[in-house]
């Protein structure tokens, strides 16, 4: 399978590097190179243009890469996007426009190739002829009855991460994502998810929502006051709407 690709970047050196990487990859074909998202949009609207994959910078004048991705839309019949950017804070936005992968500059050919192979696997899957039988499903034995699942599964930067429940200290909900604070790491995990969605996955005997923005691990609470809980060095507020349930829990401490 050969994938037709275009590269879009307003930095000539970065654009040249991506084009060189495309040309040295046997299953990729360079169909176009553009110094702006506006030029790329014009090129993609040409009748002769067929692009499977777009290597797309984000920070560009006039029309940035995220805006171009929104204009192009989603769907299996659309070109898929691999973002190439120097700023990893755009990863969450990349999720929202259904990007296939996200390369943070400066990246080397090995990193580029891993992203390209992911694209190749994707297109091979969706383009399998209807007459070609799908691989036989692998029989998975039913899980034996036992204790609640001991892990929380989160989407973090284009991968699924398994987080032991025992490692979670507390979870903070922000506008479109959550931060999961853990005992084993100083940096929180950032995941595109809602606090309510995560709350529904957590066992109520071990976790409690005490604020519209916070869920805490009950086992890791070290001290409490009327309006706050202490977990390690962090003080987390208890809001009025969750106080009754939390006071009921506190009654077990007495």
Q: What CATH number is attached to the domain comprising 55?
A: 3.40.50.2300
pLDDT in tens, 213-235: 999 999 999 988 878 999 988 99
User: 62 and 159 share a domain?
Assistant: no
Is 179 a member of any domain? yes
Do 38 and 112 share a structural domain? yes
Q: Give the pLDDT band of residue 41 (cuts 50, 70, 90).
A: very high
Say whether both 168 and 67 belong to one domain: no
pLDDT of residue 158: 61
Q: What is the domain range of residue 195?
A: 151-253
Mean pLDDT for the chain? Answer: 83
86 pLDDT above the threshold of 90: no
**pLDDT (mean) for 136-146:** 43
Which pLDDT value is given to residue 137?
46
Q: Please provide the distance, in angstroms rounded to a whole number, between the alpha carbons at the two ends of the chain.
A: 68
Which residue among 93, 126, 159 closes a domain? 126
- Work out the percent of the chain whose per-residue pLDDT is above 90: 39
- Examine the domain organization and report whether 20 and 97 are in the same domain: yes
Residues 121 and 157 in one domain: no
pLDDT band at 36 (very low <50, low <70, confident <90, very high): very high
Residue 204 maps to which CATH number? 2.40.50.1020
Question: In this structure, what token pair is assigned to residue 41?
Answer: 């949009």
Which pLDDT value is given to residue 92? Answer: 54
Domain boundary among 77, 111, 126: 126
Task: Please count the structural domains in the chain.
Answer: 2
Across 69-73, average pLDDT: 84
On whether both 113 and 170 belong to a single domain, the answer is: no
Summarised one tens digit per residue, pLDDT across range 105-135 is 888 998 999 999 988 988 888 776 655 555 5
Check residue 176 and give its pLDDT. 74
**CA 82, 160, 201, 88 torsion: positive or negative?**
negative
One domain for residues 78 and 117 = yes
Compare 85 and 165 and report the one with higher pLDDT: 165
In this structure, are residues 159 and 165 in contact, taking their beta carbons and an 8 Å threshold? no
Least-confidence region, from 44-48, 91-95, 150-154: 91-95
Please indicate, yes or no, whether residues 213 and 155 belong to a single structural domain of this protein: yes
- If residue 94 lies in a helix (H) or strand (E), which one and from where to where? helix 91-96
Residues paired with 50 in a beta bridge: none
What pLDDT does 94 receive?
54
Residue 21 pLDDT: 94
39 falls within a domain: yes
Residue 49 CA: distances (Å) to CA of 6, 60, 83, 184: 10, 22, 20, 50
């Amino acid at each position: 399978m050969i994938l037709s690709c275009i590269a879009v970047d307003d930095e000539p050196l970065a654009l040249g590097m991506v084009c060189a990487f495309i040309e040295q990859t046997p299953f990729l074909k360079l169909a176009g190179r553009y110094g702006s998202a506006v030029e790329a949009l014009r090129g993609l609207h040409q009748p002769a243009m067929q692009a499977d994959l777009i290597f797309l910078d984000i920070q560009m004048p006039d029309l940035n890469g995220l805006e171009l991705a929104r204009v192009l839309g989603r769907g299996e019949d659309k070109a898929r996007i691999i973002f190439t950017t120097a700023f990893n804070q755009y990863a969450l936005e990349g999720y929202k426009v259904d990007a296939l992968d996200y390369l943070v500059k400066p990246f080397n050919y090995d990193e580029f190739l891993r992203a390209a192979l992911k694209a190749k696997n994707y297109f091979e899957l969706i383009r399998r002829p209807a007459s070609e039988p799908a691989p036989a499903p692998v029989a998975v034995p039913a899980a034996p009855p036992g204790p609640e699942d001991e892990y929380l599964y989160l989407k973090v930067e284009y991968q699924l991460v398994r987080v032991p429940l025992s490692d979670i200290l507390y979870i903070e909900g922000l506008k479109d994502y959550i931060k999961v604070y853990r005992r084993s790491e100083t940096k929180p995990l950032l995941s595109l998810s809602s606090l309510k969605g995560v709350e529904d996955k957590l066992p109520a005997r071990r976790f409690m929502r005490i604020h519209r923005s916070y869920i805490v691990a009950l086992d890791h609470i070290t001290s409490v006051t009327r309006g706050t809980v202490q977990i390690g060095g962090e003080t987390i507020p208890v809001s009025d709407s969750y106080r009754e349930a939390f006071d009921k829990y506190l009654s077990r401490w007495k």
